[in-house]
Amino acid sequence: FVLENNLWFALDNDEFYLEYQPIIDIESTKIVSAETLTRWQSKKLGLIPPYKFIPIAEENNLIIPIGKWVLKEACRQNKEWQDMGIAPITIAVNVSLKQLEQDDFVDTVNEILEETGLDPKYLEIELTESIPVENISHIINVLSSLSGLGIKLSIDDFGTGYSSLGQLKKLSIDKLKIDKSFVNDINVDTDNTQIVSTIIAMANILKLQVVAEGIETNNQLSFLKENHCDMGQGFLFSRPLGKDSFIEFLKNNS
């Protein structure tokens, strides 16, 4: 309850900030994108990791205003980098199902793009894999509208949930992010190594882009390169960075 009580005031007290983890084009080794990761620096409780506060925010619907702030701040920040003359990148934002289920979600995103002036093609929305069947038709409409705005859509933690190939086509998805548990097992566990190469091959057939998450070793990177994985993210390239360190990374890797 202590966490929840403090979470109610966190937004008004400016206690959230964003970190950005670089996503690299495996062929060119240049940065092409970054994933936004929200941090809560509570004045009372210290730094609280997202796995602790996101589930609470989802339960009490605080994820709606928090998620809106995150989207706006990410778009504003990306536009600011572009205005500095740095080669443009896509900014990827994690969005909860709770947010997608709001009737005004598409309008909210559209307003944010207009207010910040960010070209929609530089915004990507990351969804975790499991979409409940109850509201699948509403979600299909929302994703198709977002895609119509020119925003990119990706499935996060791919391989851990249970979306079917047919569903991926219906959901206007542009990109799959292979879960780090599989990437971690490359050349260690035979089954998981084959799952990685199979997901990449499948993504290529479906004309989806594919990102490997959680790359930590050059050995993993070589395997991914040989198997034609498009992009990579992980501690081998960079941890999530605060905005000053991130600008340095951008300048050195674009």
Binding residues for ligand G (CB under 6 A): 21, 37-38, 49-51, 54, 67, 70, 94, 96, 156-157, 180, 213-216, 233-235, 240
From Mn ion, Na ion, ligand G, none, interface partner of 73 (C-beta below 5 to 8 A by class): none
Q: Provide the 3-class DSSP secondary structure of residue 134.
A: helix
CB of 126 to Mn ion, least distance (A): 5
CB of 74 to ligand G, least distance (A): 9
Q: Is 233 in the site for Mn ion (CB under 5 A)?
A: no
From ligand G, Mn ion, Na ion, none, interface partner of 54 (C-beta below 5 to 8 A by class): ligand G
CA 244 to chain centre: 20
- CA 20 to CA 239: how far, in whole Å? 8
Residues forming a β-bridge with 169: none
Provide, for the chain, the percentages of residues in helix, strand and coil under a 3-state DSSP scheme, each rounded to the nearest 5. 50, 20, 30
Q: Is 157 in the site for Na ion (CB under 5 A)?
A: yes
From Na ion, Mn ion, ligand G, none, interface partner of 159 (C-beta below 5 to 8 A by class): none
Q: Is 129 in the site for Na ion (CB under 5 A)?
A: no
Closer by beta carbon to Mn ion, 6 or else 196: 196
- Region 103-162 residues binding Mn ion, contact defined as CB under 5 A: 126, 156
CB of 55 to ligand G, least distance (A): 9
- CA 29 to CA 11: how far, in whole Å? 36
Q: HSE on the CB side for 53, CA within 13 Å?
A: 28
CB 113 within 8 A of CB 55: no
Closer by beta carbon to Na ion, 71 or else 214: 214
- Answer for which of 156, 163, 173, 229 binds Na ion (CB under 5 A) is 156
Between the CA atoms of 160, 162, 168 and 171, what dihedral angle is there, to the nearest 10 degrees? -100
Helices (DSSP H) in 90-242: which residue ranges?
97-100, 105-116, 136-149, 165-170, 180-184, 190-205, 218-226
Closer by beta carbon to ligand G, 85 or else 151: 151
Closer by beta carbon to ligand G, 163 or else 233: 233
Q: How many residues lie near Mn ion (CB under 5 A)?
A: 3
CB of 94 to Mn ion, least distance (A): 5
**Backbone dihedral angles phi then psi of residue 191, each to the nearest 5 degrees:** -60, -50
Residues forming a β-bridge with 126: 94, 154
> Which residues contact Mn ion by CB under 5 A?
94, 126, 156
Q: Tell me which residues touch Na ion (CB under 5 A).
A: 156-157
